[in-house]
Amino acid sequence: MDVDSPTTLEILCYDGFDELDVVGPFEVFTTAADRGCSIDVRLVTFAPTDRTTASRGLTIEADGPIGDDPDLLVVPGGGWNTRGEASAWAVTQNEVALDAIRRRHDAGTTIAAVCTGGMILATAGLLDGRPATTHASAHDQLSDHGAVPVDARVVDNGDILTAGGVTSGIDLSLWIIEQICGADIADGVATTIEHDRSNDIRVIE
């Protein structure tokens, strides 16, 4: 990768995603970019589509499908326990979607999951034997899918990061920005959005 090129951060959108799982990280990333962090932020989908509808009716016009090799891909959760046709659970029933995430990870993309997006990663086999967290309502299910549950707001396991429920995606995103552009920019973003950063972050090599 060209060291002078911006870090590419893509946030996945699919029908039924939780709004804040996407909008929270988007707010953090774009605010960081405004403050000089060299990143390129995109909203993406599994396949080309005009718009995607979130769990509470918000519609998103994404920038396009997932890139071949983004530096980081954020996978949101939403509706895992409802088992709805538009939900994180529905994504886990779609082998093409799961394989799209696996292939990016295999190619070197760091994967970050918010809320029950962690269950998507677990179902895809990316969390086998690895520490992870997710929304409290699904936390006990992580071990059923091969992951090692950790009680933390954010778990950083290097090439895979997971966060707890909904608002924890903001802390996850601030942590990511700190790793890319430093604590000063991350703290500045937190101040701008008036968010008290959590220290409940577990870095597990």
CATH number, position 86 = 3.40.50.880
| Residue 1 maps to a domain | no
Residue with tokens 């530096």: 71
Give the global pTM: 0.97
CA atoms of 173 and 108, how far apart (whole Å): 19
- What per-residue confidence (pLDDT) applies to 1? 37
Let me know if residue 168 belongs to a domain: yes
What per-residue confidence (pLDDT) applies to 152?
A: 98
Where do runs of H (alpha helix) occur along 124-182?
A: 168-181
Q: What are the structure tokens assigned to 185, written together?
A: 């920019």
122 located within any domain: yes
Tens of pLDDT, residue by residue, the chain (205 residues): 344 799 999 999 999 999 999 999 999 999 999 999 999 999 999 999 999 999 999 999 999 999 999 999 999 999 999 999 999 999 999 999 999 999 999 999 999 999 999 999 999 999 999 999 999 999 999 999 999 999 999 999 999 999 999 999 999 999 999 999 999 999 999 999 999 999 999 999 8
pLDDT of 203 reads 98
Q: What was the pLDDT predicted at 197?
A: 97
What is the total count of domains within the chain?
1
Establish if 2 belongs to a structural domain: no
Q: What is the pLDDT of residue 92?
A: 98
Could you tell me the residue range of the domain that residue 178 belongs to? 7-203
Instruction: Quickly count: other Cβ atoms within 10 Å of residue 34's Cβ.
Output: 11
Residue type, 21: D
